[in-house]
Every structure is written in C-alpha cells, then in structure tokens.
Structure 1
Amino acid sequence: MRLSTSITAVMAMSMAIGTVLVQGAAHADSPALLASASSAPSSDCSDLVRIRAFSDDLDKKTLDGVYVGNLSALAVDRGGRITAVSDESYIFSLDVREKARSLSAEAVAVAPLTDLNGRAPDSEGLVVDLDGTRLITSETEPSVTRYDRDGTAVEALPVPAALAVAPAGRAVRNQTFEGLTLMPGGRTLVASMEGALSGDETGVVRLQTWRRAGVGKPFETDAQYGYQADQGLGISEISSAGDGRLLVLERGFTPGVGNTVRLYLADPRRADDVSGTENLTSDGPARLVHKTLLADLADCPSLGAKALQPQPNPLLDNIEGLAVTGRTAAGRLKVLLVSDDNERATQITRLYSLDVRLPR
C-alpha cells in the first residue's frame, strides 16, 4: 500500500541506538535479543533470525513496458518460481536465486489483474493454492478473489459486512486486507487487516479466517481473531509457519527517521473467536492472539546496503511482502521478504533472504 503508518519519535530514537522496544504488546513475550547489530555475529538480527543476503536487482526495472515495483506480496509457485503482486494490479513471475550468500532476482513474466467486475484491484495479499490457482486480496472493498493461472478472475470469497470500508462497514480505507496465507492442509485461509476497525481499540486488528472441506471446495467464512500490533505499527503481511502458528510482519514509518519492521511469531490456537464481538480492546475480555518477537530488523547487520532516505538501518525500506520458501538443513525456516518502493526515487525494491528458528 502507498500510505504507511507512523511510529512515535521516542520509539524511533530508541531504534537508532539499537534498543529493542515493544510498546503496546500486552500479549507478547520477547526472547532475549542481542542489543545491537554491531555486537551481534555478522549475520544475526537476533538469536532467532539471521539475514543471509539482500538484492536490489529488481529496483527501477521494467518488463514488457510494466514497472517492476510496488510489490506487496510474495508466494512460492510451482517449479520453484516466486510469484509477486503489485498494488498497481499486476502479477509477476520472479526467478530468484541464492548462492554463496548472494541473492539475485529477475522478473520473467507479467500479467495485468482485474476483478470479476473488470476493475483493477489494489492487490496486497497473495496465496498460491494447492491446485495452482491464486488467491489475491484487494484493499479497496476489501475482497479476496481467486484467479486462474492465466490471471483471470474466477471467484470472489465471502467477506463479513463489518470488514467492508466505511460507510458500507467499519473498516478504514487503505487499512484492510494486507496479508493472506493458507494454513497446513489447505483447509484454512487467513487474511489480516492492517488497521483496526472503527470502534475497536487502536492497534487491535482482526484476522479473518475461511474454512473449506477440501481443495476445490468453496471457502466459507469462519472464526475471527484479535491481534495487538505494536504502538504505531500495522500488519503488512502474514505467512504460515507450518505448525499452526503465523509469521507476522509489522511495519511503520516515521518521516525523517525511516521504517520500523518487526517479525513476530503469533499463535491463534488459544485465542477467542471475536467474530461476534462488537468492540475489541487489548485488555479483554476476549483473549487475543499471543505473539513472540523474533527480531526487529533494525538490528540486522546492514550487509553494505545503501538507503536513499533516512533509515535507522540502511538495510531497511518499506518491507511489505513475506513468504516461507523452505527449510534449511538445520530445520530453520527460509524466509523471503520484499519492499514496496511506491515507485518513488527515494525508495527501493529490495529482496531479503532470512532464516528463522522457531521457538517452542
């Protein structure tokens, strides 16, 4: 999305000196993180997350006359290619390769996206389903639409009325379905709202789920969960961790200071279904999703990256997409991130390769 939320100046100053702050995370446990990138081993962002490489290969490139940028989401496609969507209504196929701690990327195919009504969606979340079709969210309504492999819209999923953008519902424009993931087994789909609904406490956002009987069966709306984002941050992406938990990317922006990007592990399995709860608050009575901080990416080593605007770490930019691409030999998750450059000269389309050890 083009508009990022802001964090407080106090938090920004704390990041600049390498202090990890977790404000407003009443339901979070933070593992012992290393105090700063300068004191950490060369690849460690924390004791749970390592950065392997980054790549600016896609930055300010075009393919078939289409700008390769504004990237909002990533997913692993068949054949090992990475599929990406931009919020300018395009879907890309990327050839991403990692070798000897270096990362390279090339856009090899592109197609426009339109919804069932022929309109260009504000594409934000992406899932490649088990049958190869794609599920893509749009922030506009919001919506979740299924596309065939040629990029043709074939089905729209039902969305609870309260999640519609006001005045039709209670959602705030540009603060709706930002993330999307399919849980193990392929029966549960999860979408994350970026911001709170009108009437909910600021920072308490909703995760909407859908259930189906099996691949090829229709998705029906199911449970909804509350999640407490850190103060001033919103959810920019979610991805299944493979064990019933979720990787959650929280992001914010402070003009003149830069981006805040934090990676959390969230467990919805003991959270309450809040689909019937009118107003959510951080202090109950509904149990929110429990979360654990994996890393603040400002604490990663910069690896020689350059920033085009002020950043607490020159590695950072407007990171918006996340995909789990596999596992290392040691069983850590391989994670790929991408930043949305908003087609601006001061921002970068950057890919990041991480590995993540999941705490128990």
Structure 2
Amino acid sequence: MNDPAAPLDSLPLRDDLRGMSPYGAPQLQVAVALNTNENTHPVPGEVVEAITQRVHETAASLNRYPDRDFTDLRRALADYLGHGLTEDNLWAANGSNEILQQILQAFGGPGRSVLSFVPTYSMYPLLALGTGTEFIAGDRAEDFSLSAESASQQVRAHAPDVVFLCSPNNPTGTALGLDVVRAVYEAGEATNTVVVVDEAYAEFARFGTPSALTLLEGRPRLIVTRTMSKAFALAGARLGYFAAAREVADAMRLVRLPYHLSSVTQATALAALAHHGTLLATVEDVKMQRDRIVDELKRMGLTPAESDSNFVFFACHGDAHEMWQALLDRGVLVRDVGIPGHLRVTAGTEAENTAFLEAVEDHLSVR
C-alpha cells in the first residue's frame, strides 16, 4: 500500500500534474557544494546567540498562535529597506517562493496568465502550474539580455495579468535596467497588469545598480520581492518578503493561510534584522570572490557573464554536463541549469572557490 516505487499515475492527480517532476537541486554529500546560491559563510556567533535568545523567549508562548499580521516584523523590514516605506507597505511569508505563490493566488489563477522572460528562475512556471495560472515564456536576446523595447512589446502582445521580472536574473546573474521595469509597467497599464520585480539577490549587485524599490511611488501595481535566504545567510529560516502599495499587502490577507508565519520564524527574522550589519558583512567578501571567479574563468578561456548576484553563469565551450560530472568527481558540486553549454556556480568562501577553480582548470587540461 505504501510502496515508494508505486507510480503517481495510480493516484487521481490533476491532469496538468501528470508527468511532472518535483523542483529541487541535487542534495549530494560533497566537499564543496556551490549549486544552490546559498551564502556559504556561516551565521556569525553573535547572531546565533541573539537568535537563540529570542527564540528561547518565544518558546514559552508557543501554546498560543503567532501574531497573525507580524506587525513588528513588517516594521523592522520597512526600517531595513528605507525608501520611505512603512509596515503597511510590507508583507512576508515562508521564503520568497511563498510570496510569489501568494501573489499568483491573488492576481493569477484559472483563466489568467503570468509572463516571464526565459531563461529565468525555474520556479516561475511551477508556481504558475500550482495556482492554475497560464505561464507565458517570453523571449530574451541571444546573449540572454532583455531590452525595454522587447519586454514592453511582449507585454502588449500577450496582455498578461502578472509579469515576473527577475533582477538580478537567475540563472544569468544579470540585473535589469530600471528602464525595463518602467517600460513593462507602462505597457501593462491598459490591462491592469501586476508587475513583480524579484530582487532575491539585490544586496549582491555591483555598485551603482539601482533597485526597483525606487520606482514604487505612484505605481500601485508594482511589487518588489526580497529574501533573507541569500545575503542574510538565512536560507534555513525561510523568510521572504515584498514591498508594495498598502492595498497589495492587504490583498495577501485574502489568500494567506491563517497564522502562516510561525512565532519562531518571526523571532528568528527579528533577531537577524537587529544584527543586519553583522550578517551583511559577508556580502562584500562574496562579491569580491564572485568577481574573482569571473576573472579566473576568463583567464581559462571560458565566457562568464558579468554578475550582479552571488553566483556566476558561464559558457563552458563544450559539453556542460560532462564538465558538471568532472567537477563532481573532484568533489565540487555546481548547477547544471539545463541551458546547453552553460553552468552556474555559487560564489562561496575563498577556499571553496579555489577548489572550484582548480577543478575547472584540471578538467580543461585533460579534456
């Protein structure tokens, strides 16, 4: 009855789920894991102590439901982001994936569509599928860039209910110009399109790269999503959030599950935000190591993208899966993103990146 080998086809699944595979990167036991864009620096001891203390204080009241509207957390997130935002402009959930799911639950759904420009974050079509929203795969240029003219033309052609703009984009690591965001928003005026700018990696952007947070004023259908998984090194805490007009945050209350953010999650995030300076101290080191990877891969004759994230997307000039396996054989796990001739590597610690670069050079010397 509980045979794990029993096919899913034996269950009365929805037709659109048949033949699908769950999302997930390989979780292999390797010496150097650089495949999921985590911040590989450990959480500093003083922050661990602060989180432990706050959770300890919260534990005594776990018999009660958490603050349903997580007011203190929204206020702390608004203070962190600045830009004149208040707690009324903030919303949070269990990771930015749940944030995106709630957005589609509110503004997508059966008979509605979401447009994004591929290659981009591979969860977008899965989130669309799970919410009954049609996913429209928009086009990018051959070099994976996206211009304001092309993006706006595609929005007008498809008239989607929601647009997802990933900036910096995953897997390419490149940030969008604000002209693209403006053009997409204006193109969606006639159809009341909600525009979501996914800034999961925003803290790693190169100097001078603007955030779409600067465009929120006067744009009630613009949403900017963020996460504490990357720059804050809190992937295990599962805390994502967005900034938008007050009415957008209010709309999320219609679709969220009751008490969806646990007391422990709220306590962890509040303690982390109180020590955000300490946590974000690793960001500059990650950026330096990212740029080192770019420079070294160029030296080896490969073609990496200039990155605004904590990872590097690069052309292998050969069989990507062959290189992926060769690196894995040397104890280094990177991400095969399914784009022919390309791989993606997370910028880890100096030692981890050295292991990666040595493994790449070793592979190139023998292929």
TM-score w.r.t. length of structure 2: 0.26
Larger Rg: 2
More helix by share: 2
TM-score w.r.t. length of structure 1: 0.27
More strand by share: 1
